[in-house]
Structure 1
Amino acid sequence: MNFFRLIINLFHFNRTNWKAVTLCLLTALVFWFFNALNKDYSTNLRFGVNFLYDEEKYVPVDPLPKDVFMNVSGNGWDLLRKSLGVNLPDMNIPLERPAEVKKIVGSTLPALLAGQLGNLQINHVVTDTLYIEVDPKEKRKIRIAIDAQKISFADGFGRLSPIVVLPDSISVEGPSSVIRQLPDSVLLKVDQENISKDYRDEIEVRFPGDDLIKRNPALVEVIFEVVEWIEVKQKIKLEVKNAPGKVRLNLVKDSVDCLVQIPKSQLEDFGKNVGQVAVLDLQNLKRGDKKLLPQIQGLPVNARLIQVDSVSVRLY
């Protein structure tokens, strides 16, 4: 029993003794840690990279690599600071002919970067290859138009005026391989549906891969007038021109029916218009039975001819 009591007494400390022991252990650990950092080590570190080239004349087609991993040796303090991002320099890689360089093999980097690492020594480059694609900048003009067939109008409504696009062309700038693939003109779509009043809005000009393209301007203004249209049936008198002098003419009727589309606001004035005529031109027409479409003349401004009946003619 005395033996076991002796063992217990060896490990019996009061609170003050435990504090002293803990402090001694921490002090030893700190001394060991500081002493260890004075030695040389090697480790893998990530370094940011900057590619140096004339940015006024060249532009990347794909995002350039942002970092490179290297195995480096150096003092423990330096490696600790660098691993924490303190005073970690970015590596500068010069590109004398950017458009001709497609990749940089990792084994060639130590010669380019050795002088940029201060006290650290490069053992080897962990990153195998840096792939880059840089093109000369190119600039050109592209004409802008609106796809009129895909404009959505409310029932009974439609476009009255021509479509105005301001400006009607834009300047694009970017990598030559991308710019050369763009078309000479671009059709834009009006996204608004069921349009029933005059349209005036801005539309963004977009291209495939336009994150690489600088557009000037990026927005164009689109303007056109919209009205409500109605269809009117009208009987118009026939007028024959250029009838052959020695040929007899037999017309089945002296007027034709036609279908005209007009703005609803002009309906009253349309009924007062008496200058409409259906012209039947017989110039160079040979003998026999013919079916001809007359030319409708004298329709008021904004009227649109939808349909006109054909005329049966016999020359003998």
Structure 2
Amino acid sequence: MPLTTTQSRPVQLPTLVLCLVAAAVIWLLNALNKNNYTVSVQYPIEFVYNQKLYVPTTPLPKTIGVSITGNGWKLFRKSWLPFRSQPIRYPVANPLQTKFINTASLAAALTDHAKDVRVNFVAGDTLTLNFDRLAAQEVPIIVDSAGIDLADRMVVSSFINVSPRTIRFEGPARLLRAMPDTIKVKIPARRLALSYDEELRLPIPRHPLIRASADQVTVSFEVAELLQPLPLPPAPQPEKPAKTTKAVKAKKSAKAKSVRKK
């Protein structure tokens, strides 16, 4: 009777991968069911203040670093889906006087807000806040008429139309105090011989905290040919020399003598 040898079956790679994945999932599920895990998460925060009266001069943080302890499932949800959590609302009653937020008071507010986990501390000692009063300013727009470059014998023959005539700026009061009193627009065209009607970009200061009501202005005016030269102003007449004192005295003396003879 011939001897038979058994051949081992080769291990299939997809089967091995599936087994490893299943084992990892089972381990993860068991681990997430345990308590007393501690992680650091970025928790969403919303600062509440009167936006019609005040404006932050430095960007407000949208999240804060928080150390929390709790069940694995809850920490997993807050670690991977932090922005699905309801943000904590932190009121700022006096923005001009409030320069920072104490992290201890913020941690206490978070403890009341996130009751499913324990808040250990808020990362950092303070959160700096900078506010200024929200202000508005109207600035007139004018055209540099003296700088319009016209062709020979051409003149501006109409009123220079500007639309809009004013621009409104809104932003921190400290920044608006540095704004110019007027915005002067220059006509970029050269050797103009036809009527002008164009939209021009306003030369206004650009700042992320300042909002402008417009960034362009429409300028239009008519140009015509000067058929006759403009009349020259009359030449100044030479002043007559003033009479000397001696001549005046002689005239008075002669008049006095004629009176005596009579």
TM-score of the superposed pair, with normalisation by structure 2: 0.72
Pick aligned residue for 1:45 from 36, 41, 45: 41
Distance 1:70 1:219, change over 3 A: same
Aligned residues of 1:161 and 1:226 also touching (Cα < 8 A): yes
- State the identity as a percent: 30
CA distance in 1, matches of 2:38, 2:152: 76
How far the C-alpha of 1:158 sits from its partner, in A, is 5.4
Q: Does 1:167 align with 2:164?
A: yes
Give unpaired runs (5+ residues) of structure 1. Answer: 1-8, 229-262, 289-316
Local SS of the residue matching 2:111: helix
- Aligned with residue 118 of structure 2, among 121, 143, 168: 121
Name the CA distance, whole Å, in 2 between partners of 1:167 and 1:23.
69
- What residue number does 2:9 align with? 14
Residue by residue over 1:117-162, the C-alpha shift from the partner in whole angstroms, topping out at 9 and shown as x without a partner, is 2312221222443233222221222111123344455677554445
Q: Does 1:143 align with 2:106?
A: no
Post-superposition offset of 1:77: 0.5
Greater strand proportion: 1
Q: Deviations over 1:260-304 (max 9, x none)?
A: xxx2xx25xx6xx9xx68645548x2329xxxxxxxxxxxxxxxx
Q: Larger relative contact order (C-alpha < 8 A, sep ≥ 6)?
A: 2
Structure 1 pair 17/167, CA: closer, same or farther in 2 (3 Å)?
closer
Answering whether residue 28 of structure 2 is matched by residue 33 of structure 1, we say yes
2:208 partner SS: helix
CA distance in 2, matches of 1:171, 1:201: 21
2:241 equivalent among 287, 300, 303: 287
- Answer yes or no: is the 8 Å Cα contact 1:105–1:129 preserved in 2: yes
Q: Answer whether contact 1:60 1:133 (CA < 8 A) is retained.
A: yes
Distance 1:277 1:157 in 2: 17
Name 1:94's counterpart in structure 2: 91
Any idea what the Cα deviations from partners look like across 1:43-102, whole Å, max 9, x if unmatched? Answer: 111122211111122222232222211111111111111222163332322111112223
Q: Contact 1:47–1:89 (CA<8 Å) still a contact in 2? A: no
Tell whether the 8 Å contact from 2:201 to 2:215 is kept in structure 1 after alignment: yes
Counterpart-to-counterpart distance in 1, 2:89 and 2:192: 56
Give unmatched runs, 5+ long, in structure 2: 1-5, 243-262
More moved, 56-65 vs 136-145:
56-65
Take 2:67 and 2:127, find their aligned partners in 1: how far apart are those partners?
A: 16
Tell me the alpha carbon deviations over residues 242-261 of structure 1, each in whole angstroms, 9 at most, x when there is no partner.
xxxxxxxxxxxxxxxxxxxx
Find out whether 1:111 has 2:65 as its counterpart: no
Amino acid at match of 1:33: L
Alpha-carbon separation, structure 2, partners of 1:131 and 1:92: 16
Task: Answer yes or no: is the 8 Å Cα contact 1:51–1:94 preserved in 2.
Answer: yes
What residue number does 1:239 align with?
none
> Which amino acid in the other structure matches residue 35 of structure 1?
N
Q: Which amino acid aligns with 1:113?
A: L
Please give the per-residue CA displacement for 1:190-238, whole angstroms capped at 9, x wherever unaligned.
344554321122334353244323333443321222345xxxxxxxxxx
Following superposition, the deviation at residue 179 of structure 1 comes to 1.6
Relative to structure 2, which stretch is displaced further, 48-57 or 29-38? 29-38
Q: Which residue of 2 aligns with 1:85?
A: 81
